[in-house]
Structure 1
Amino acid sequence: MDEEQVRLHPWADADFWLLERLNSPEMTEHLGGPEGEARLADRHRRYLGPASGCMYRVEAAGSGETVGSIGFWEREWRGEPVWETGWGVLPEFQGRGLATLAARALVETARAAGSHRYLHAFPSVDHHASNSVCRKAGFTLLGEAEFEYPKGHWITSNDWRVDLEDL
């Protein structure tokens, strides 16, 4: 597979349905569970609003079907501003390498943004599929980190990083 098999489209108002699908218990198992309607609506507004970074709807290039979402946003990590990324692929499209393709495309998008040197991903140590995506997409494992996400829910995550200045 190569990068031509997925396309990233900036998040649009019409993409709320995708956020609802990605908010299922199955899809949020490693994230503390589904969010309520009000929080989901707030998240959608943040995805649409002007921000540092961008969220995307992921489309399979061959079929044009929406398969998930991916994005990057700014955060402070260990005293410096970095990009953070996260993604979700709908259950019926999982296991086809689409998340890895989307992550590779996102690395190039974050690199082109030029604001920060590093892009990090922080999947739960127990989320084998997301850790595999990081490895296959060229991220380097730096170790484990404790995260509170969502508020009140602590998880042990792996800290994966891409140096955006490396070509």
Structure 2
Amino acid sequence: MLTLHPYSADDFPLLEALNSPEMTAYLGGPESPEKLQQRHEKYQRLAREGQARIFRIAADDHPAVGIINWWYGEWHDQPVQEAGWAVRPEFQGRGYAVRALELLTPDAAEHGDRTLLVANPRVDNAASNAVCARAGFSFRGEEDDEYPPGNPIRTNVWTFDLAALREARALGYLP
């Protein structure tokens, strides 16, 4: 079974484990210890302020297989919620990222106020693009982006209709 747990001050070792060259190959490479500490503090601050929901992904075989989150952002001048995730290499290929994203979407619908949840994996990140497709996101095309800022990349845009999910729940079609 897979569960999501709010990210906490105790989760810094997980963030460090995800900061490897292998895990950050599509994100501009590993961050310095100082930048990683800043990210850890930012995650906690955004969660406290209600601007994001960050989770540690836990599985029956390990309490810390990865991180998944959503935060407020914009896409084509439209307010959206954005999603991102990372699963440690030794736990990849087990469907954990797909299941975590399936658990994140109802959380985004319940705790957020935007109509779309957007994910932007790089076009060459086959695994993350497959996660989006398997989790029920709709492919919207390719776009130019920057990540980290100043580093141009090409991404695929995937969206999930949070408004439709909220409506289906309100009508009793979904739990």
Taking structure 1 as the reference length, what is the TM-score of the superposition?
Answer: 0.94
In structure 1, give the amino acid aligned to 2:22: E
Structure 1 position 83 matched with structure 2 position 50? no
In structure 2, give the amino acid aligned to 1:9: H
Please state whether the residue corresponding to 2:26 is helix, strand or coil: helix
Structure 1 position 29 matched with structure 2 position 28? no
Aligned length: 162
Aligned residue among 6, 9, 27 for 1:10: 6
Please state whether the residue corresponding to 1:166 is helix, strand or coil: helix
In structure 2, give the amino acid aligned to 1:154: P
Deviation beyond 2 Å, 4+ runs, structure 1: 62-65
Cα distance in 2, alignment partners of residues 97 and 27 from structure 1: 17
Please state whether the residue corresponding to 1:165 is helix, strand or coil: helix
Structure 1 position 96 matched with structure 2 position 94? yes
Aligned to 2:171: none
The alignment yields a C-alpha RMSD, in angstroms, of 1.0
Please state whether the residue corresponding to 1:159 is helix, strand or coil: strand
Cα distance in 2, alignment partners of residues 157 and 65 from structure 1: 31
How far residue 98 of structure 1 moved from its aligned partner, in angstroms, is 0.3
Cα distance in 1, alignment partners of residues 78 and 163 from structure 2: 16
Aligned residue among 73, 91, 105 for 1:107: 105
Structure 1 residue ranges without an equivalent (≥5) = none
Aligned to 1:140: 138
Q: Give the number of the structure with larger relative contact order, counting CA–CA contacts within 8 Å between residues 6 or more apart.
A: 1
Cα distance in 2, alignment partners of residues 83 and 89 from structure 1: 20
Which segment is superposed worse, 46-55 or 122-131? 46-55
Structure 1 position 127 matched with structure 2 position 125? yes
Aligned to 2:44: 48
Structure 2 residue ranges without an equivalent (≥5) = 166-175
Taking structure 2 as the reference length, what is the TM-score of the superposition?
Answer: 0.90
Superposed CA offset, 1:12-68 (max 9, x none): 0010001111110000000110111111111100111124121110001x2353110
Aligned to 1:19: 15
- Taking a change above 3 Å as real, the CA distance of residues 64 and 29 of structure 1, as seen in their structure-2 partners, is closer
- Find the structure with the greater CA-based Rg: 2
Please state whether the residue corresponding to 1:138 is helix, strand or coil: coil
In structure 1, give the amino acid aligned to 2:55: Y
